[in-house]
Amino acid sequence: MGRVPPAAGLRSPEGDLLGPRENAGRHRPRRVAMLSVHTSPLHQPGTGDAGGMNVYIVELAKRLAALGVAVEIFTRTTSAALPPRVELAPGVLVRHVDAGPYEGLAKDDLPARLCAFAHGVTQAWAGERPGHYDLVHSHYWLSGHVGRLTAERWGVPLVHAMHTMAKVKNAGLADGDTPEPAARVAGEAEVVRAAHRLIANTEKEAGELLHHYDADPGRVAVVHPGVDLERFWPDARGADAGRVAARSRLGLPRDALIPLFVGRIQPLKAPDVLLRAVARLLQERPGLRERLVVPVVGGPSGSGLTRPEGLQKLAARLGVSDVVLFRPPVGQDRLADWYRAASVLVVPSHSESFGLVAVEAQACGTPVIAAEVGGLPVAVRDGVSGVLVPGHDPAHYARALSAFADDPARSARMSEAAVRHARSFGWAATAAATAEVYTAALRGHRLHRVP
């Protein structure tokens, strides 16, 4: 396996090593066309197909704009009421593209609409002055196909972020979940071959690109996602006082043990593992029932849409309905309160390229119990800011929860370390590193075009 280079260390045509600022001055793009076909940055994360990738695109675009890189995000029109353009933030424009029926299309229906989407993007480009976009940055494999076509048409480099990979998801498939189709596997391979640069969230994801898709190590850069440290922060009065205040605002018991789940309700995210762990915990320690509250904040998504009430029915079968609170997705400020109110966030996913919710919770001072998969070992410091659990056996998660039940002060003790760890993942650093990847892609593209 080849070594994946960091997003820095570029050299001038004369061979001199350039620092990030000098790189940026020479080749940083003025305007980027960002593609998000299947989910809009305007959608509420936590339901449907909206999740961490939505947060990623919004926050990255805003921070890139602050660096002087204008961003135009192309996404599919899902309602006739949507205007063609929406200013998301200064320097960030969302452009809606007509590609198929506005409503009723599932993500699996979208591959047949990619040519129409690419045509819509090209039409928007035709209405601008030549050279309007310096670079295309696509997110997820569907957008990658459109990016491959448009970047070639415009004569600009393509930067692609996979976010999730079919081969990785299929290798860690949850029981009863649907495997990713062969068409996606083949499509991802095409995008990997076409991209001038690939952005991976972690070293592990970069290794998976090399191993599963035979990516060129020289085209892969690792850039960690970030967290909005201005929105997700601990209470200045301390972890205990902040927890009590947040619980009061949310109407939660002051002294309860509160393991929280946040995310889309689908087999991949494994909220069922948390419910089974809670049932196991109460079976072994029935006295905990009086002080246990388990909020599940999110909405059905993916294969979970086929059984939207499946998790509620599972809670009833397990006999834990009385301690589980099902709540719909909430805005970011309200979500920060849920994090602060929790004793611990539980992330039992079968696959995670990074795990933004884990970092957001830690930024609020809440430790995390997470599956030892994907990027979660980077997002969570095992034994310091949280606990990593090998596999998905509910008994192991019950044991981890029991440790927090036995020692109510454990959350407060881990809180400070969690905040310190999360502070190393700011979106400003993510944007700066991404801009360096753009610089490398532009320079490599120009050198390739010049005989």
Residue 68, annotated as binding a ligand: no
Residue 352, annotated as binding a ligand: yes
Residue 169, annotated as binding a ligand: no
Residue 337, annotated as binding a ligand: no
Residue 72, annotated as binding a ligand: no
Q: How far is CA 404 from CA 353, 432, 433, in A?
A: 27, 38, 37
Number of neighbouring beta carbons within 10 Å of residue 80: 8
Q: How far is CA 355 from CA 52, 93, 246, in A?
A: 8, 26, 23
Per-position DSSP letters for 1-27, written without gaps between them: -PPPPBS---B-TTSPBPPHHHHHHHH
Residue 341, annotated as binding a ligand: no
Residue 342, annotated as binding a ligand: yes
pLDDT at 68: 96
Residue 366, annotated as binding a ligand: yes
- Name which of 356, 435, 360 is nearest 66 in CA terms: 435
Residue 306, annotated as binding a ligand: no
Place of tokens 């939505």: 54
Cα separation, 43 vs 50, whole angstroms: 6
- Name which of 194, 213, 86 is nearest 147 in CA terms: 194
Residue 339, annotated as binding a ligand: yes
Residue 430, annotated as binding a ligand: no
Residue 54, annotated as binding a ligand: yes
What is the pLDDT tens value at each position of the chain, 451 positions in all?
455 555 533 333 333 333 444 444 457 899 999 999 988 888 877 656 667 898 999 999 999 999 999 999 999 998 888 899 999 999 999 999 998 888 777 778 889 999 999 999 998 888 888 889 999 999 999 999 999 999 999 999 999 999 999 999 998 888 878 899 999 999 999 999 999 999 999 999 999 999 999 999 999 999 999 999 999 999 988 888 999 999 999 999 999 999 999 998 989 999 999 999 999 999 999 999 999 999 999 988 655 455 668 999 999 999 999 999 999 999 989 999 999 999 999 999 999 999 999 999 999 999 999 999 999 999 999 999 999 999 999 999 999 999 999 998 888 889 999 999 999 999 999 999 999 999 999 998 887 664 4
Residue 51, annotated as binding a ligand: yes
Cα separation, 442 vs 24, whole angstroms: 11
Where do the domains of the chain lie? 31-226+428-448, 239-425
Residue 410, annotated as binding a ligand: no
The answer to whether 273 and 259 are in contact (CB under 8 A) is no
Number of neighbouring beta carbons within 10 Å of residue 25: 11
Residue 50, annotated as binding a ligand: yes
Pairing of strands 92-97, 85-89: antiparallel
Residue 269, annotated as binding a ligand: yes
Number of neighbouring beta carbons within 10 Å of residue 152: 12
